[in-house]
Amino acid sequence: MIDALIQQRRNRDLSIDDLLSVGDLSDKDIDLIFELTTIAESILTSNERKCSLLKGITQFNFFLEPSTRTRTGFELAWKNLWADVVNLSSTSSSMSKGETLLDTIQTLGALKPDLIVVRSPTSWAPHFIASNSCASVINAWDWWNEHPTQWLLCLYTITKFLGKGLKWKKIVIVGDTMHSRVFGSLIRMTQRFWMNVIVSAPCTLIQNNLEQFWAKIEYNLDKAIEWADIIYTLRLQTERASWSFVSSWVEYSNKYIINERRLNLASPSAIVMHPWPVMRNFDIHEKVLSDTRCKILDQVSSWYAIRFILLWLFWSKSKKYSQSNLS
């Protein structure tokens, strides 16, 4: 199967050196990533999953904010691809002693990493790192800005279940769009693929620039769900004081939880998505989590395959790799 993967790639490369923003990816890039991800999904459930595609490569996992899915997805992919991985967090790096991001990056750069995956509570930090490093940089979320690998796996899941033609597909995005880590990339996806989008949330949790993304607002979630092909629900970001934006937790949950009654208002072919972690029985009811229309675990299983493929593709785009090939 590894041979099939290499053959399917046919020496094709991505058009970009770093994955900082979803807008950087061309349609051809997305097609290449998805073609290879389909094969990677079979590899990762077989005994061929340990392969040496990235043997000898040094990668830094630079997470300045907590993560379960993104970090483990990349870490497992690195381990299966035999790369050498160094994990750094805000508390385990000298940034906790006041070292600047520039000094940290220059120090790490002296160790000649090939790839850096970075999650930062500061928007544009991955762009700053990319312009001060020879490694290829993958943005694993930069505050309210973007989460491109999450965007790719959501898009992959949607096309898997609803087909490639996304034009005019109807998506309702429910919940804390104000503080969400994935909303920025998600709303760009709806616009890029000409999807119809409705945001449903309390007015205090809705960003005020939605018209630039052609999004409409519907405070009555029942109405929005009746209309939707995709119900994409977001967690209330309690770690960012989102609770102070709602008058009562109980009222918020009553109005915006995806429960069985609401799911039954949707078309039988509608799907439910969520980026995880969920607040069980608060933003989504456990009966919905076990419904066949709920594709949250499918999102989870593709997170690993997508990241496996991204590491492989970005290694050959690494600036260090290109320089060594040129010399």
Residue ranges that bind ligand CP, judged by CB under 6 A: 67-71, 150, 181, 275-276
- Residue 265 vs 300, nearer CB to ligand CP: 300
To ligand CP, the closest distance from the beta carbon of 75 in angstroms equals: 11
| Residue 1 DSSP symbol | -
**Angle, CA 149 vertex, CA 120 and CA 160 arms, to 5°:** 155
Q: Which residues of 13-25 are buried (b: 16+ CB within 10 A; e: fewer)?
A: ebebbbbbbbebb
To ligand CP, the closest distance from the beta carbon of 80 in angstroms equals: 18
Measure the CA–CA gap between 51 and 43, rounded to whole angstroms.
Answer: 10
- State the CB neighbour count (10 A cutoff) for residue 156: 21
- Residue 181 vs 320, nearer CB to ligand CP: 181
- Residue 70 vs 190, nearer CB to ligand CP: 70
- Residue 242 vs 318, nearer CB to ligand CP: 242
- Residue 67 vs 90, nearer CB to ligand CP: 67
Measure the CA–CA gap between 169 and 190, rounded to whole angstroms.
Answer: 9
Helix (H) or strand (E) holding 58: strand 58-63
To ligand CP, the closest distance from the beta carbon of 205 in angstroms equals: 18
Measure the CA–CA gap between 148 and 151, rounded to whole angstroms.
Answer: 5
To ligand CP, the closest distance from the beta carbon of 148 in angstroms equals: 11
To ligand CP, the closest distance from the beta carbon of 7 in angstroms equals: 32
- State the CB neighbour count (10 A cutoff) for residue 286: 12
